[in-house]
A and B are shown apart, each in its own frame.
Chain A
Amino acid sequence: MSKKKKVSRLKQANNELVFARPKSLRDIEMHFCAGCGHGIAHRLVCECIDEFGIREKTIGVAPVGCAVIAYDYWDFDVTEAPHGRTPAVATGIKRVRPDNIVFTYQGDGDLAAIGTGEIIHAANRGENITVIFVNNGVYGMTGGQMAPTTLAGQKTATTMAGRSLRRDGYPLKMLEMLAVLPGVKYLERVSVHSAQEILRAKRAVKKAFKTQIDGKGFSMVEILSMCPTYWGMTPLKACERIQSDVTTFYPIGIVKTY
C-alpha cells in the first residue's frame, strides 16, 4: 500500500464515527456509584430509542430509587411517578397518547415490592408499553436494604445475617410470574456484567421496544445489574457474582415471546 493510500484510509477511519454518545443521552456526569449497572442500562435504552428514530415520540416514566433522576440523563420527555406506581402512570400516558412510545424504567423495589399490584395489572391489561426492570437485588438509594429479589443468604442492611427464607420469604421471579398472563407478549432476562451480555441485553431492549412499536402488547426486560456498593465488593467481583450466583437463580434468556 502506498503512503498516500494509507493516509487516505486513516483519514477515512478518522472521519467515520464508530462510537458516540446516543442523542437521547445527555452529556452530563452520572451520579451512579462506581461499577453500578444503571449507567449501562440507561445507555442501552437510549441507543435503542436512537436506532428506532423514536426520540421525539418517546415518553419515559422514571421510578423512585437510584434511577429517580433519569430525566436528568435522558434527552426526551420524562415524568416521575410515585414509588411503584410507574406502570399506572405509563398506562395513563399511553391511553391518551397511543401514538407515543411509552416506557417505564424501574428498580426491583419499585417494581417487585411496592409496585407489585401496578405491574401485574398493567401487564394483565396488555398495556402496549415497555418496562425496563433493573434487578440488582437491593434497595440502593436508601442504603442497601433487602429487596424482594435479594437472594437467599444475601447480606443486606436489613438481613445482616443473610436473607432467611423462613423470616424474609423467597426472592421473587417477576418474569416467570408475569409469563402466564395472556396480555404479556415479550419477556426476557439479560445482564450487564460483561461485554457479551451487554450486547445481548441491547438486543432484548430493542426487541421489547419493537414489540410496542408493532402494537403487540406488554413487553418487559429484566436487566440483572451490579451494586458493588451494597454488595460490599469491588466492581469486578460484583460482575463475577452475577455470573456465579445471580444468574443461577435468575437464568438469562427469553421467558416469553411471540
Chain B
Amino acid sequence: MSRKILMCGNDACGEGAVLAGCQLYAGYPITPQNELTAYMSKRMSETGRVFIQAESELAAINMVLGASAAGARAMTSSSSPGISLKQEGISYIAACELPAVIVNVQRGGPGLGNIAPAQSDYFQSVKGGGHGDYRVIVLAPASAQDMLEYTYHAFDLADKYRNPVLILSDGLLGQMMEPVDLKASDRKPQIPEKPWALTGCAGRKANFIKSLILTDVELEAHNIKLQEKYNIIKEKEARAEVFNLKNSEIVIVAYGSVARLAKAAVEKARAKGMKAGLIRPITLWPFPDKIIRDAAATAKKFLVVEMSAGQMVEDVMLALLGKAEVNFYGRMGGMIPSEEEILAKLESLL
C-alpha cells in the first residue's frame, strides 16, 4: 500500500537505513548532510538502536568499522571534506572485507569550498579515495525516493559482498523535499549470518579481523582475492536507467540530480524533433560500461553533464573506446546547470 509523505533526501536516506536494520549510526556535523544526522539521532533512539555523535569523521568511520566487525549493520554519513577524512577508515574496511554504508552528500570543493550541491567527488568515490587497490560500490540516487531505496539496498550489497557501499548524493538531493513512498516499511530486512564476526569465541575458534599481511606473497594473494570479488561485482551489479534511448543520435550521460535536469532537457529536445536520449548510471562503480557502449550502436555523439570539471566523462570515454564522439558540459563551485543550458549544449552538437 502506498504511504507517501514529504521528506528531504537526507531524511529519506536515514529512513532507508532504519528500515534496513542499521544498528549503529555514527556521524559528525557538516552541511549539507545535517538533516541526516539529526534524523538518525531521533529515529535510532526511537527504535532502540545506537546513535553516536562522534568527535570526528575519523572516529565516526571507525565506530562503523567496530560495529561492523562485531556483526552489526552500521552507517556513517558526511559531506565532501568530511568524506576525505573518512578515507583512511574506508580503506581499512575494504581491506578487512567488512560491510559498511557511507553516505556522501556532496558539496562544492576543493578545500572547504561551499555548501552548495556539487559532483566533484566522483574520482574520490569510484577510483579509490584512500590508499591501496580497493573498490567501493557507489550508488547514485536521483530523488528522495532513491535516497531511501538505494540506502536500503546498500546494506544488502554491503553484506552480500562484505564491502563498503557509498551513497553518492549531493546537497540538492539531500535537502530538497519530495514525496517519498514509505511502502518499503513493510519489508523485513534479510540480514545474513556472519560467522566471521567478532561476537566472543564461545563454541568456536577465535575470529580475528585484520588488514596487516606482512609477507608480499600473502598480501598479493589477498589482493588477488579482492580483485576477483570486484570482478564479480562488475559483472553482476552495474546498473543504469535509460530514457528515450531508442534511435537516439545523441545520448546524455548524467547521474544524480543532474540526471533529473538532463531528463527534462531530453524531453524538450525530443519535442523539438531532436533524437536525444539519456543514460543515468545508478551504479557509478561498477560503471555501466556495456549499457553506454551498446548505445553507441545508434548514437554517434555523447554529452556528459556533471557538476564538476569533468570526472565521470573519463569513464564514459573508456566505456566507448572511441566508438563515438564524447562531449562535456559542466558547472563547478556549487553551480547547477539549468535545463536550458543543457538543451542549448545539445542543440549546438546537432
Contacts and interface: CB of A to CB of B under 8 A. Distances in A.
Interface in A85-107: 85, 88-97, 100
Nearest to B69: A79
B206 to A, nearest CB: 5
Contacts of B59: 85, 88, 91, 117-118, 121
A41 interface: no
Given A57-B200, A77-B198, A95-B24, A89 B72 contact: no
A82 B59 CA distance: 10
Contacts of A85: 58-59, 62, 65, 88-89
Interface stretch (A66-74, A220-228, A234-242): A66-74
Contacts of B65: 79, 81-82, 85, 88-89, 92
Given A68-B212, A80-B212, A121-B55, A92 B63 contact: yes
A25 to B, nearest CB: 12
A76 B206 contact: yes
Contacts of A58: 200
B54 interface: yes
B50 A96 contact: yes
A82 B58 CA distance: 10
Given A92-B26, A96-B23, A56 B201 contact: yes
B211 interface: yes
B52 A95 contact: yes
A75 interface: yes
Contacts of B253: none
A131 interface: no
A69 B74 CA distance: 26
Contacts of B63: 88-89, 91-92, 95
A61 B65 CA distance: 11
A79 B210 contact: yes
B1 interface: no
Nearest to B70: A93
B92 interface: yes
Given A91-B52, A93-B67, A93-B69, A81 B62 contact: yes
A59 interface: yes
A33 to B, nearest CB: 17
A163 interface: no
Contacts of A97: 70-72, 199-200
A81 B59 CA distance: 11
B66 A89 contact: yes
B100 to A, nearest CB: 10
Interface in A185-217: none
A75 B56 contact: no
Contacts of A59: 70, 198-200
Contacts of B66: 61, 79, 81, 88-94
Given A75-B206, A78-B198, A100-B200, A95 B55 contact: no
Nearest to A92: B66
Contact of B58 (A69, A79, A88): A88
B202 interface: yes
B201 A55 contact: yes
B64 interface: yes
A59 B197 CA distance: 11
A89 B69 contact: yes
B208 A71 contact: yes
Interface of B: 23-24, 26, 50, 52, 54-56, 58-60, 62-72, 74, 88-89, 92, 96, 198-203, 206-212
